[in-house]
Amino acid sequence: MKMLKMLAAVLTVTVLTAGAAFAAPKKIVVATDATWPPMEMVDKDKKIVGFDIDFLNAVAKEAGFTVEFKNTAWDGIFAGVEAGQYDAIISSVTITDERLKKYDFSMPYIDAGQILIVPKAEKGLKIADLKGKKVGAQIGTTGAMEVKKNAGVELKTYDEVGLAFEDMAAGRIGGVVCDEPTAIIYALKKDEYKSKFKIVGKPFTKEAYGIVVKKGNKELVDLLNKGIKAVKAKKADVAIKKQWLK
């Protein structure tokens, strides 16, 4: 009888342990280049924060997984997901035809566009008006791709967009191209720049951000899409936008 009771107890513990393991949420490691406010950045406490961070945490909650964020330089961030160093990328990544050939994406989660920022004394209204000057953009971004389309304008690339604004403040370049939310932070909200820079015109591209995963990882894409749909259905993204993008 005692042996039967012991076996029953062992089986019960085994079943409970297995059940707990089964119920534990899946953890995914996600890379982000935290130099792109207000989407992803490092705060005064050295924490990674921003719209993308809060949004993905909301997605994770809805879809039943947890996230570990890994601050990763943009130059090489895509190679890292290909090599399996992390499971996904959320870093203001525009979904493009070229990128879709190499990587899989979640469904779009927010729209954005490229915009030009110049010194306040500048009279040009578009990139082409800066012919003969240098225009800065972060390396490998759609902003850099847009600058390249303008003959006579020299593209200068940077590992971090903040370095481009530093160069413009020092008079070394004539403009910067980046996503509109980031432009607003640097041109209108940063104390050291808001008296020096201005945004000209409106966004001249229409882009959508997606979460990047390694090609063929349909399971993770489906999990991310499940969470994104739930967040949008509950309008949880609206509150996140109000916090970071206003």
User: How far apart are the C-alpha atoms of 198 and 123, rounded to whole Å?
Assistant: 11
Question: Which of 88, 83, 82, 84 is CA-nearest to residue 69?
Answer: 88
Per DSSP, 185 falls in state I
Q: What is the DSSP string of 204-235?
A: ---EEE--EEETT-HHHHHHHHHHHHHHHHTT
Residue 91: pLDDT band by 50, 70, 90 thresholds?
very high
Residue 246: pLDDT band by 50, 70, 90 thresholds?
confident
User: How far apart are the C-alpha atoms of 115 and 200, rounded to whole Å?
Assistant: 7
The pLDDT value given to residue 19:
44
Span 134-152, average pLDDT: 96
User: How far apart are the C-alpha atoms of 31 and 56, rounded to whole Å?
Assistant: 12
Tell me phi and psi for residue 4, to 5 degrees: -65, -40
The pLDDT value given to residue 50:
97
Query: Are the C-beta atoms of 60 and 225 separated by less than 8 Å?
Result: no
Span 151-158, average pLDDT: 97
Residue 144 has pLDDT above 90, yes or no: yes
Secondary-structure class of domain 2-111+208-244 per CATH = alpha beta
pLDDT in tens, 39-61: 999 999 999 999 999 999 999 99
Query: Are domains 2-111+208-244 and 114-200 of this chain identical in fold?
Result: yes
Task: List CB contacts of 25: < 8 A, sequence separation 6 or more.
Answer: 60, 64, 65, 66
Span 216-245, average pLDDT: 96
Q: What pTM was estimated for this model as a whole?
A: 0.82
Range 114-200 has CATH code 1.25.40.10: no
Structural domain boundaries in the chain: 2-111+208-244, 114-200
The pLDDT mean for the chain works out to 91
**Rg for the chain, CA atoms, rounded:** 22
Angle between helices 51-63 and 236-244 (to 10 degrees): 160
| Residue 111 β-bridge partners | 208
pLDDT in tens, 109-133: 999 999 999 999 999 889 999 999 9
Residue 207 has pLDDT above 50, yes or no: yes
Q: Is there a cis peptide before residue 38, judged by omega within 30 degrees of 0?
A: yes
3-class DSSP state of 178 = strand
